[in-house]
Structure 1
Amino acid sequence: MTAQERVERAALSALKVFPLPSAVLFPHSIIPLHIFEPRYRAMVRDALAGDRVVALAQLEEGWEGSYDGRPPMVPLMCAGVIVWDEQVEDGRYNILLQGVTRIEMVSELATDKTYREVQAKVLTDLPYHGPEEERLRQAVFELAGRVPPNFAENLLPVSARATGGVLADVVAAAVIPEAERRQELLAELDVKRRLEAVLEDVGELIARLQPVRPSGPLN
């Protein structure tokens, strides 16, 4: 069963959710997580024993006073699969969660589990090809001349291969650190507008950085 199929099956029945205000996962990207709260250690343990599917969610504004409970979650989130795990001291986990697809929460399930589960619908991008793709690739190439080489070497091949919404997502995942902005881009379901928004963000980043080595066509 593919990762997409596993997420779709979980979304129809009971999809485990990890609310984490400081992090936003994008499809086709990987995020490292350290799991230390008992309820989410239980979530990871159950996920590893089953389909390995977990969604990462943001919380609605005003969550700070009720984090230990079940504060409202932002309905638009990203579901992924745990592609690597290790259990460390005190039953904590280090995991790598790979984003698979956007989902939209339909309802939260009433459960006796300590962690949260939802039913959701899977949101898939419509195919899109337009001039925004090449503009974003060119902007990424220019950015590569202003960042450390190891960062550029990871980003350039990925952005060269990706198209449409995937291109916007992988670039956003790599260059945008702020959780609020990442959530805005995750919630942008129109691929053309998402590409334009990421291109604007990359352009602003380029404007703030000085070249660290010559850029231009490679010989």
Structure 2
Amino acid sequence: MVLHGCTLFPHGGMPLRIFEPRYRQMLSETLEGSCFFAVGRLHAAEETDDPAECTSPIGTIGLVRASREMDDGTSNLLLHGVIRVRFVEWDLESPYPKARIRPIAQVFEPESQSASALESLHEAAEEAVGHFAGEVQDAFRSMAQSIDDPAILADVMCQQFVHDPDVRYELLSMDSVAARIAWLCSELNK
């Protein structure tokens, strides 16, 4: 699925309303199969017949966690991000955007600095949630403390705290987890 200004991070959630006939077909095939589909970001003003011309090269595979078909044939669903992917080749014969993909593994290196990276992310998270109600702060702290991988925590925080569509995509497509963490901590500590 390709959408304007839309970036899903691994370990993040995205509610979607499926209403276009082509995406209804995609969802039907997805639910009959693996329950996974990719979300890509349209970077052009309009979609063209060749998705490679208008879709950013990096996206995210998502798992359909919940789907409810409405009386009018549309569906509301919750997509859970799983892993970054690179769109390698587009199927121009498909009725909806369909691509061959390559997974992009994200590993924080050097591993010896993982604890320090996690600590920095926790401090930045405290800044980000400091103005929310106590219950929200406690819930986020509890969730963040349960994550022991800095790459995962950074993605969760990007999904929750970064709202500019261009910055979100830039963070999604960064090769370096350490660079993503440095940017995120710097911005959230401002």
Task: Compute the TM-score of the two structures, normalised by the length of structure 1.
Answer: 0.77
Cα 1:23/1:122, change in 2 over 3 Å: same
Aligned partners of 1:155 and 1:171 also within 8 Å: no
Aligned length: 183
> Where does the alignment leave 5 or more consecutive residues of structure 1 unmatched?
1-17, 205-219
Partner residue of 2:47? 67
SS of 1:67's partner is coil
Shift of 1:92: 0.5
2:123 paired with 1:138: yes
The one of 59, 74, 78 equivalent to 1:92 is: 74
Partner residue of 1:200? 186
Shift of 1:154: 3.5
Aligned partners of 2:14 and 2:80 also within 8 Å: yes
The one of 115, 118, 124 equivalent to 2:96 is: 115
Q: Quote the sequence identity (%).
A: 26
Partner residue of 2:15? 32
Aligned partners of 2:84 and 2:104 also within 8 Å: yes
- CA offsets per residue over residues 54-110 of structure 1, 9 Å max, x none? 1111112xx22x337444211111111101000013210101100000001111123
2:165 paired with 1:183: no
Mapped partners of 2:139, 2:7: distance in 1: 20
Question: C-alpha root-mean-square deviation of aligned residues, in Å?
Answer: 1.7
Aligned partners of 2:65 and 2:79 also within 8 Å: yes
Shift of 1:167: 1.2
Shift of 1:190: 0.6
Mapped partners of 2:60, 2:131: distance in 1: 30
Aligned partners of 1:133 and 1:195 also within 8 Å: no
Shift of 1:155: 2.2
Aligned partners of 2:129 and 2:137 also within 8 Å: yes
